[in-house]
Amino acid sequence: MAFFSNKKSDTDIHKLNIPKHIGIIMDGNGRWAKKRHLPRSSGHTQGAKVFRKIARYCSDIGVEYLTVYAFSTENWKRPDEEVNSLMRLFKEYLNEALRDFKDDSIVVRFIGDKAPFSKELQELMIKNEEESKSRDGMVLNIAMNYGSRDELVRAVKNISQNVKDGSMDIDKIDEATVSNFLYTANQPDPDLIIRPSGEYRISNFLLWQSAYSEFVIMNTLWPDFTTDDLDEAIRIFNNRNRRFGGV
């Protein structure tokens, strides 16, 4: 099966093995807007609508964990106007749309460093986490100001601190220890990572966790992404032979 695909298929999704954890790099909003001679912010607005739909669809088909990349540690480099419009959009979402997830019993978590966001946004993120934590549905990790290198540096610092103050034995540090110091502690690694918009790179997303993830790159730009595209990615995933280093 090709690494790259954009073909549509009519396979019944319910007959397929649904990945337990899916990661999505929601990319292509700017190009979508450019093609329509619209400001980049309208691509982000459309992308946010798609996010809402796809998250609920994943929950409906039985995905247990969904991690979406919404804003990277590197995205602060964008022009102020774009960053400001993204912050406005996040605020709107955290105020309204995330309430929808209540009907689907979705647990909302934010992964990444909240500190650089405004106090208002930070409070909204915490409120969403608190309100949803006792639900029993899909876990939705929204990666905001997330960077995998930053996550690993933070883990190294926290582990070092524990060794320094004597609460951790250096000889007992293993792979599970590192996993437990990441934002995704206690969650399974992603089985499938989807990148729309045709870019063949990871852009600092889940470096440690994706060691054995299957990657599906799709040409569709995120604001055009549909539930059929998600079905197609899952179908491709079903045709992969995961060996994890074995035979």
Site residues (CB under 5 A) for Mg ion? 27
* Binding of ligand IPE by 31 (CB under 6 A): yes
Nearer to ligand IPE, 26 or 125 (CB): 26
Nearer to ligand IPE, 78 or 240 (CB): 78
CB of 69 to ligand IPE, least distance (A): 4
* Binding of ligand IPE by 25 (CB under 6 A): yes
| Catalytic, out of 6, 27, 145, 174 | 27
* Binding of ligand IPE by 71 (CB under 6 A): yes
Task: Check if 10 is active-site.
Answer: no
Q: Judged by CB under 6 A, which stretch of 3-11, 57-65, 174-182, 196-204 contacts ligand IPE?
A: 196-204
* Binding of ligand IPE by 92 (CB under 6 A): no
3-state secondary structure the chain: CCCECCCCCCCCHHHCCCCCEEEEECCCHHHHHHHCCCCHHHHHHHHHHHHHHHHHHHHHHCCCEEEEEEEECCHHHCCHHHHHHHHHHHHHHHHCHHHHHHCCCCEEEEECCCCCCCHHHHHHHHHHHHHHCCCCCCEEEEEEEECHHHHHHHHHHHHHHHHHCCCCCHHHCCHHHHHHCCCCCCCCCCCEEEEHHHCCCCCCCCCCCCCCCEEEECCCCHHHCCHHHHHHHHHHHHCCCCCCCCC
* Binding of ligand IPE by 218 (CB under 6 A): no
| Interacting partner of 26 out of ligand IPE, Mg ion, none (Cβ under 5 to 8 A depending on kind) | ligand IPE
Task: Check if 75 is active-site.
Answer: yes
Residues at the contact surface with ligand IPE, assessed by CB under 6 A: 25-31, 69-72, 75, 86, 197, 199, 201, 203
Residues annotated as catalytic (active site), given as ranges: 27, 75
